[in-house]
Chains A and B, each alone.
Chain A
Amino acid sequence: MSAFSAINEEREIERDEFTPGIEPQATWCPGCGDFGVLKALKQAMPEVGKNPDEVALFTGIGCSGKLNSYFNSYGFHTIHGRSLPVARAAKLANPNLEVIAAGGDGDGYGIGGNHTIHTARENHDMTYIVFNNEIFGLTKGQTSPTSPKGHKSKTQPHGSAKSPIRPLSQQLNAGATYIARTAAVNPNQAKEIIAEAIEHDGFAHIDFLTQCPTWNKDAKHYVPYTDVQQSDEFDFDVSDRAEAAEMMRKTEERLYEGEVLTGRMYIEDERPSYGEEKRQIGEMPEEPLAERYFDEDAEWERTYDNLLEHHK
């Protein structure tokens, strides 16, 4: 018997279950794209059949980090850039949990960039949502890793001399097996992509364009947008790495030319997730490790019987 009866509970899930009984006043500004992420995430939950107690949502620091303050599930609001290492260990400890991580572009592409690369490389079975508003919001409008070249801010008064990070291409190279871009202004697509990402068995990376009406007025709220799967202009095979790479490059470049391209960029279904790989080589137990601590009949071996012989 599982000590975690919320996991895989068979019942209909209502969207409202993910709204806290008393909803805290959001810290986000009116018109902020972050509301779009929250809404899409809530809408995706009934589609994937997950209930609030089996979902663990890990966030970083910044406006995006407040996501789990307004989402009714287990939440861990960690430290700047470190949501992924905390999240992926929870997944290893209890693979039956639905693990989602979220943070901003500074969080995931700047300070936590190393973890973003390595978590994708390892292909953990989890979903990572990056709120990409091309700016530092909560610290009041500094240039971020995705701000366009030449972007002026208080910390880059002469305009940024740096080219922006290419988040989609970077994740493709790092090893993510589901990569998509969506936008807060496109709630239906966002919901579908989040649901697909959650159901994907591997590391799913969503670059989520979230307009910042306060600090990044130039970004024009990411409208109009084009869904590359719906457009005749872009005919590419989403499972073909080379074609995906080409599509991503276009998507990244055109964003800075004012054209917002969204949709699924790369999907690889064959590669086993990290947990499967680890179980395969005998480095991870078949049963969730967390269950053992709640099982009164579990046997705990001791070193005296197993390791001391070598020292005699």
Chain B
Amino acid sequence: MTDNELIWRIAGGSGDGIDSTSQNFAKALMWSGLNVFTHRHYPSRIRGGHTYVEVRAKDEPVQSRGDGYNFLLALGDSFARNPQEEAYYGKEELKPLYENFDDLREGGVLLYDEGLLDDEDVDEIGLEEAAEENNWHVVPMDLRGIAKEHGREIMRNTAGIGATAAILDISTDEFEKLIKQNMSGDMQEANLNVLHDAYEAASELDIDHDIEVPEGSHDEEQVILSGSNAISYGAIDEGCRFISGYPMTPWTDVFTIMSQHLPEFGGISEQVEDEIAAAALALGASHAGVKAMSGSSGGGFALMSEPLGLAEMTETPIVLVEAMRAGPSTGMPTKPEQADLEHVLYTSQGDSARVVFAPANIRECYTQTRSAFRIAYEYQIPAIVIYDQKIQGELRNLPASHFDEEPNADPGSVLTEEEIQDAAHHTSGKFQRFLHEPEDGSNVSPRSVPGQKDGRFLATGNEHNPSGHISEDPENRIAQMNRRLGKLDDIRADLDENASHQTYHGPEDADYGILVWGSQQGTVFEAVDRLNENGHSVKALGVSDMAPYPKEEVSEWLESVDEALVVEMNATAQFRGLTQKELGKYGDKLSSLLKYNGNPFEPAEIVDGFESSIDGEELAASNMKYVPAAGD
């Protein structure tokens, strides 16, 4: 079998430089003209534990992790606590070699560092047998020895890259360029020597295999970045200059990127005592006239519930991001899941009035974060960007021109001092900040900002009258509730007119549909292509607007198919539930394919899941769950 793609997995322990090496490898392949996509898997610990990253490279654009991998560079875990013992979690040092080596494709290459991993130990895990059965090409090399000869042991990863390049017959030019760009002095020299020596040593082995690394070229300049980068850059370009937060995986990435760059852009970052404070600070900054954000992951976001409700009640614009990880409670901190949807939609007391976007990829992370700020400040409402650990850390290349957009720092519906003079005031002297019927006929009553002359008003979490004073008058209550909730209809109309966030894929007249939200979109789209090649008639709809829900778009699409499978990474089919609730029907048309084992779907799993659902067969794979439509 000849693969027309490379899926290179580098596996080691946390601390072995797996992440940085994979980033360099991906960038070098992008420079060589290929399209790349990475998939990260790591444990919640600082040193040791099986960590791997897959770099998938093709000549055509890649939007998903692949099925398994065809090249494994197993460095072994140099930080294993009990390297030679059968530890609680299995033989730690060897884990990066044997754990899920079943996923190595037939005919694949398995290169391991025999400098760290003892050959006798390797014999014990049945590698020889498995290699024979699957026609793997096993290449033991003393990468550690090569690294130590020129520099330090940590350079095993550079040796691994040199050897990979030789085996796959790719030029080392781009790797050299990267080393020269990132390092200097002795460090640079040592790494270059390690790279070359490993390349020479591997060339001499003359490994015969079937992987053909494709060749490609780009029409325009490319950049490679993560979802966290794209969310941060979207925020900055939409005028956000204030962030407050408390560290929590995987949200920490956005917080770090923003904290590092905001001062350069004249902004402020605050690391505070807890997430309640984090959300409250963003609210305070926004109240004082600054475009502000905060964010967290599941548990931290739970602490933000009350400030979130305060933002809804006082109509203070705010953008929050929620980076999902596997729950409940502390769950699996470094593993992706899409199980916080209901949490984000409904948390906080009372009827919620908020906007929730779920970008599906890096491109959408940028555009939808910008949308979130625009909507939040124009409509004086909290907007939440919900994403997961998968998008947060995956790298993908895309044209630099995608970011060549004008900035927009417009603070939204805020009055100037001149406008305040002409605006309605109460006889108490207070500015009427919460009019029942705003003058332009919309549901948004423009605000003033502290320090503006004659703009003073009371913002309160209590129900309030037009000047902000606490009121429990029933008529006022109804007017204010209807106006605040009415903004959601205005926003839906705005989005429908200006920026649909939904993505359609596959033949329009297909009989079957796959409905997906957030990070699994690319994988579903790849599966849809394969299903159509296999003779099925399938299309997909990727939904990003969780609230206000795009009812018209989704019902129109659902009407056009006989049945639809909803694919999501959680155990209780939250998005399917939302869809049925919002549309009030389709319970008999929607079935679910769910995965919640801490790993995102592979395209082949969705193909299998779809085919067994059509054939009415049991799912072969035990790592997923199928839930049929009502009545089936």
B451 contact from A22, A290, A300, A301, Cβ within 8 A:
A290
B411 contact from A69, A85, A293, Cβ within 8 A:
A293
Chain B residues lying within 8 Å of A282, measured Cβ to Cβ, are 263
Cα distance A173–B289 when bound, in Å? 33
B276 contacts A by Cβ under 8 Å:
yes
Q: Please count how many residues in chain B sit with their CB below 8 Å of the partner chain's CB atoms.
A: 78
Cα distance A82–B328 when bound, in Å? 27
Which chain A residues numbered 37 to 64 have a C-beta less than 8 Å away from chain B? 52-54, 56, 58, 61
* Chain A, residue nearest B448 (CB): A74
Chain A residues lying within 8 Å of B287, measured Cβ to Cβ, are 76, 86, 90
Known: A22-B428, A73-B456, A75-B468. A285 touches B266 (CB 8 A): yes
Instruction: Report A25 CB to chain B, min CB distance, Å.
Output: 11
B307 and A289 form a contact (CB under 8 A): no
Cα distance A96–B288 when bound, in Å? 11
* Chain A, residue nearest B223 (CB): A311
A311 and B225 form a contact (CB under 8 A): yes
Instruction: Report A139 CB to chain B, min CB distance, Å.
Output: 15
Q: Which of A89, A289, A306, A312 has the most CB of B within 10 A?
A: A89
Instruction: Report A62 CB to chain B, min CB distance, Å.
Output: 12
Q: Which of B427, B429, B450, B454 has the most CB of A within 10 A?
A: B450
B314 contacts A by Cβ under 8 Å:
yes
Cα distance A58–B456 when bound, in Å? 13
Instruction: Report B238 CB to chain A, min CB distance, Å.
Output: 10
10 pairs from A and B in contact (CB 8 Å cutoff): A6-B451, A53-B454, A56-B288, A75-B459, A85-B272, A93-B268, A118-B272, A302-B405, A307-B261, A311-B400
B452 and A6 form a contact (CB under 8 A): yes
5 smallest CB-CB distances across A and B, nearest first, come from A89-B284, A4-B451, A85-B280, A77-B460, A93-B288
Known: A78-B461, A293-B290, A294-B289. A4 touches B269 (CB 8 A): no
Cα distance A24–B469 when bound, in Å? 9
Instruction: Report A37 CB to chain B, min CB distance, Å.
Output: 17
B223 contact from A69, A289, A312, Cβ within 8 A:
A312
A87 contacts B by Cβ under 8 Å:
yes
B281 contacts A by Cβ under 8 Å:
yes
Cα distance A294–B280 when bound, in Å? 23
Given contacts A90-B288, A284-B268, 15 further A-B contacts (CB under 8 A): A75-B458, A82-B276, A82-B307, A85-B277, A88-B281, A92-B268, A94-B289, A97-B451, A285-B268, A289-B285, A290-B288, A301-B407, A303-B236, A304-B237, A312-B222
Known: A308-B400, A311-B224. A300 touches B409 (CB 8 A): yes
Q: Which of A3, A306, A311 has the most CB of B within 10 A?
A: A311
* Chain A, residue nearest B395 (CB): A311
Instruction: Report A103 CB to chain B, min CB distance, Å.
Output: 13
Chain A residues lying within 8 Å of B272, measured Cβ to Cβ, are 85, 118
Cα distance A54–B266 when bound, in Å? 24
A188 contacts B by Cβ under 8 Å:
no
Which chain B residues numbered 211 to 256 have a C-beta less than 8 Å away from chain A? 221-225, 229, 233, 236-237, 239, 241-242, 244
B265 contacts A by Cβ under 8 Å:
yes
A301 contact from B265, B281, B314, B430, Cβ within 8 A:
B265
A77 and B459 form a contact (CB under 8 A): yes
Q: Which of A75, A78, A85, A308 has the most CB of B within 10 A?
A: A85
* Chain B, residue nearest A75 (CB): B458
Known: A94-B451, A303-B237. A294 touches B416 (CB 8 A): yes
A283 contacts B by Cβ under 8 Å:
yes
B457 contacts A by Cβ under 8 Å:
yes
Chain B residues lying within 8 Å of A117, measured Cβ to Cβ, are 273
A77 and B288 form a contact (CB under 8 A): no
B265 and A306 form a contact (CB under 8 A): yes
Q: Which of B221, B244, B287, B414 has the most CB of A within 10 A?
A: B287
Q: What 1/0 flags go to A114-126 for Cβ under 8 Å of B? A: 1101100000000
A302 and B427 form a contact (CB under 8 A): no
Instruction: Report B46 CB to chain A, min CB distance, Å.
Output: 25
Chain A residues lying within 8 Å of B264, measured Cβ to Cβ, are 306
B453 contacts A by Cβ under 8 Å:
yes
A52 and B456 form a contact (CB under 8 A): yes
Chain B residues lying within 8 Å of A93, measured Cβ to Cβ, are 242, 268, 284-285, 288-290, 292
* Chain B, residue nearest A94 (CB): B288
Which chain B residues numbered 438 to 476 have a C-beta less than 8 Å away from chain A? 449-462, 468-470
Q: Which of A75, A114, A298 has the most CB of B within 10 A?
A: A75
Known: A93-B289, A292-B266, A303-B233. A79 touches B456 (CB 8 A): no
Cα distance A302–B239 when bound, in Å? 9
Q: Which of B267, B281, B291 has the most CB of A within 10 A?
A: B281
Cα distance A93–B317 when bound, in Å? 15
A140 contacts B by Cβ under 8 Å:
no
A89 and B281 form a contact (CB under 8 A): yes
Q: What 1/0 flags go to A14-46 for Cβ under 8 Å of B? A: 000000111010000000000000000000000
B497 contacts A by Cβ under 8 Å:
no
B284 and A20 form a contact (CB under 8 A): no
B403 contact from A78, A284, A300, A303, Cβ within 8 A:
A303
Instruction: Report B26 CB to chain A, min CB distance, Å.
Output: 11
Instruction: Report A72 CB to chain B, min CB distance, Å.
Output: 6
A53 and B451 form a contact (CB under 8 A): yes
Cα distance A304–B403 when bound, in Å? 6
Known: A85-B281, A89-B285. A4 touches B452 (CB 8 A): yes
Chain B residues lying within 8 Å of A304, measured Cβ to Cβ, are 237, 400, 403-405
A312 contact from B290, B400, B457, Cβ within 8 A:
B400
B460 and A72 form a contact (CB under 8 A): no
Known: A298-B409, A304-B405, A311-B223. A78 touches B242 (CB 8 A): no
Known: A289-B266, A290-B289, A301-B407. A89 touches B239 (CB 8 A): no
Chain B residues lying within 8 Å of A290, measured Cβ to Cβ, are 288-290, 449, 451
Cα distance A243–B479 when bound, in Å? 57
A7 contacts B by Cβ under 8 Å:
yes
Known: A88-B281, A308-B403. A118 touches B288 (CB 8 A): no
Cα distance A90–B278 when bound, in Å? 13
Instruction: Report B269 CB to chain A, min CB distance, Å.
Output: 7
Instruction: Report A27 CB to chain B, min CB distance, Å.
Output: 9
Known: A86-B280, A118-B273, A298-B409. A283 touches B263 (CB 8 A): yes
A79 and B451 form a contact (CB under 8 A): no
Known: A22-B427, A78-B461, A278-B268. A69 touches B409 (CB 8 A): no
